[in-house]
Each structure stands twice: as C-alpha cells, then as structure tokens.
C-alpha cells in the first residue's frame, strides 16, 4: 500500500485564522516552528520559564513570550517542543490545569503519547508534525522558499477537523512544500527510536569508533585511520542521500563494491541484536529505563555522556577537521551557530 503524502494544495492555511498557537520550548525545533508559523501569518506565543535565558533570545526575534501557564491559557493549539523527558511534568504542572477545554495538543515526536506519559483527556485533539530534519534546517529551507519533509499524525479527533488543523500547521511550517507523509504516533515513535539506536547513532557512531581502534591497534597511523573510517563517511552518506544505495555503490570502485558485498561485519547476529532493540522499543522497556533514569536526575545518562565524550578517535579528530577549509565557510558557520544557539536554548528551557 502506497504511503499517503500531502502537499501545499492539500491544506488550507486559513484554518488557523483566529487561532493562537503556543510553542512550549524554544530550542532547535522550537525556534524554527515559532518563526516559520509567525512568518506564515499565524498568531504565535512562546511558553518559557520567566528566568530562562531563552526569553531574551525569543524576544530578539520579535516573538511574544510568556510563562508556560500563561501562554497556554488562550491557546487553541499547544505545540510541545521541550525535550521528551520534561514534557510530562510540564503538561501536568503548567498545561493541563490551564489549557482551554478544547485546546489541541501537538507534538514533533510521539514519545510521550506513545508510552502514555501524557494522556490527553476528552476534547483535546492530538496531532503530530515531525520534520525530518533539525530545526536550523527547517528554518533555513523555509526562508529559502523550500521545505523539509515531515511525517504527520492525528488522534483523538472528536470534532472531525483534526486533519484539517494538522495539515494547516504543516503548511505554515513549510513542510508541505516538500511533502508530509501520513503516519501514527506509534509508528513514528518506534521507527524513530529504532533508527537512532541501531543505525544513525548506536550503529554509525560505534562502527566508526570500533573501526578506528582496530586500525590504530594494528599499528596504522591514527590520522590515516580517521580519514578512512570517519572523514569519508560524509561522502558515502551524501551519495545515499542523492540516489540511495545504488548510487552509493555505483559511484565507488569495483574493489569497494566487492568488499561491500563480501563483508561479514554486519551479519545475522547484527540483525538479531537489532530485533532485540526493536522489541525493547515496542514493549516500552527502553522508554521506562530512560525515563526512570531521568526522574533521578539522569545519573546513568550523564555517566554515559562522560564515557563516550573521550573516545580515542577524538584525539586526532579536531586536528584533522581544522584542515577542512570548507567547514569554515560562511554558510557552514551560520548553520552551526544557529544549531548551537538552538541547542543551548533548548537546554536552558529546562534548567
């Protein structure tokens, strides 16, 4: 069955006329959603702690800023863009007691709805618009007249107008310029966590570090090892992004292709480990482990952050990256600054 995809002509932006949207959080995604919606003519207010440094950052962009409790009081749509681990507390303390009886709840990731950390009551339509890109890219592409694709979902739609609102929000964000794919909170959450744990982060990061260690321990120069297992990764990913695995393989040498086809690094044991990780995501045990640790202040999480911030590959990484002049051009600097500021702002929302 083909995926259902919506584009610009499938949504009516006027659905949001007269509606106020409260953006809870002003981090990487928060600033992009707020600014894009504002520039699309939507009435936006930002919900932050009064003492957050992000307050001034948002005001500098010409946005209205209030406490979370005050921001949601008059909001018709409340978009949660704070980190997953804080959303349930924000909801129970500041949102649920203050929101309108028919306010819609919106998310850019389904974690808290999928695992029941937030349980919307009757009358609160719940939808998701999840851009498939970081906030600075969502903002940059919008300003360039383009958009970042998104996945969208809608649940608890008692009035029957949930999809109209969902698609109008996606259009205001700029996502429908590229296309939005219909999904569910369950599908988006489980596939997103799986991708992070087994391929994008838990897969690639560990594969690169292990490959680096194997070469260095075998006596090869760390600098040469870095080039082969880390630096060239971007080239391969760019080729995949442009034309999938076929272009990736076609663009490389016959020797590289043959090595790809005959490699035994990824085997049935890898598949079994992935299936195990997927099961933990599906049955909620991963979510519980993460949230239980966060409820204690994240001691295990912090321990892991410290452990993996001192990987051997970073003994040579900074020196070699300084050789890449293209990383220092104005465009890269602007994107990095935007992303960095967004990440800092996202953290400050919760401090």
Return binding residues. Answer: 26-29, 49, 52, 54, 135, 192, 196, 228, 232, 253
What residue numbers does the annotated binding site for substrate cover? 253
Alpha-carbon gap, residue 224 to 48, rounded angstroms: 47
The catalytic residue among 109, 124, 206, 310 is: 109
Q: Which of 217, 219, 235 is nearest to 227 (CA)?
A: 235
Alpha-carbon gap, residue 216 to 70, rounded angstroms: 56
Supply the DSSP symbol for 3: P
What residue numbers does the annotated binding site for NADP(+) cover? 26-29, 49, 52, 54, 135
Which ranges of the chain does DSSP label H, i.e. alpha helix?
28-39, 54-60, 68-73, 84-90, 111-114, 135-143, 162-173, 185-195, 204-217, 222-226, 233-251, 254-262, 268-282, 285-295, 299-308, 317-321, 330-350
What residue numbers does the annotated binding site for Mg(2+) cover? 192, 196, 228, 232
- Both ends of the chain: CA-CA distance in Å? 45
CA 74 to chain CA centroid, Å, is: 27
Is 109 considered catalytic here?
A: yes
Please list the active-site residues. 109
């Amino acid at each position: 069955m083909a995926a259902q995809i919506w584009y610009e002509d499938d949504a009516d932006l006027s659905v949001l006329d007269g509606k106020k949207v409260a953006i809870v959080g002003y981090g990487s995604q928060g600033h992009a959603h707020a600014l894009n919606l504002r520039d699309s003519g939507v009435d936006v207010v930002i919900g932050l702690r009064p003492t957050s440094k992000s307050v001034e950052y948002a005001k500098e962009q010409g946005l209205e800023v209030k406490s979370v409790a005050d921001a949601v009081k008059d909001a018709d749509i409340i978009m949660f863009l704070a980190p997953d681990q804080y959303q349930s507390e924000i909801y129970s303390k500041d949102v649920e007691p203050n929101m309108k009886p028919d306010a819609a709840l919106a998310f850019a990731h389904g974690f808290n709805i999928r695992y029941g950390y937030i349980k919307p009551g009757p009358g609160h339509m719940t939808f998701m618009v999840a851009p498939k890109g970081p906030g600075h890219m969502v903002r940059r592409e919008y300003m360039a007249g383009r958009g970042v694709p998104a996945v969208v979902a809608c649940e608890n739609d008692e009035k029957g107008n949930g999809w109209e609102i969902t698609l109008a929000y996606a259009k205001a964000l700029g996502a429908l310029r590229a296309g939005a794919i219909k999904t569910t909170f369950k599908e988006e959450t489980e596939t997103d966590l799986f991708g992070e744990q087994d391929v994008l982060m838990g897969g690639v990061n560990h594969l690169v570090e292990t490959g680096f260690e194997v070469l260095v321990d075998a006596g090869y120069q760390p600098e040469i090892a870095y080039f082969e297992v880390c630096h060239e990764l971007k080239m391969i990913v760019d080729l995949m992004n442009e034309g999938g695995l076929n272009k990736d393989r076609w663009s490389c040498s016959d020797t590289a292709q043959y090595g790809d086809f005959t490699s035994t690094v990824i085997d049935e044991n890898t598949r079994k480990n992935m299936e195990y990780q997927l099961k933990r995501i599906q049955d909620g045990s991963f979510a519980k482990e993460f949230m239980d640790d966060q409820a204690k202040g994240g001691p295990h999480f912090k321990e892991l952050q410290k452990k993996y911030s001192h990987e051997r590959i970073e003994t040579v990484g900074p020196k070699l990256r300084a050789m890449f002049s293209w990383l220092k051009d104005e465009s890269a600097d602007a994107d990095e600054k935007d992303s960095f500021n967004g990440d800092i702002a996202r953290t400050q929302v919760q401090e």
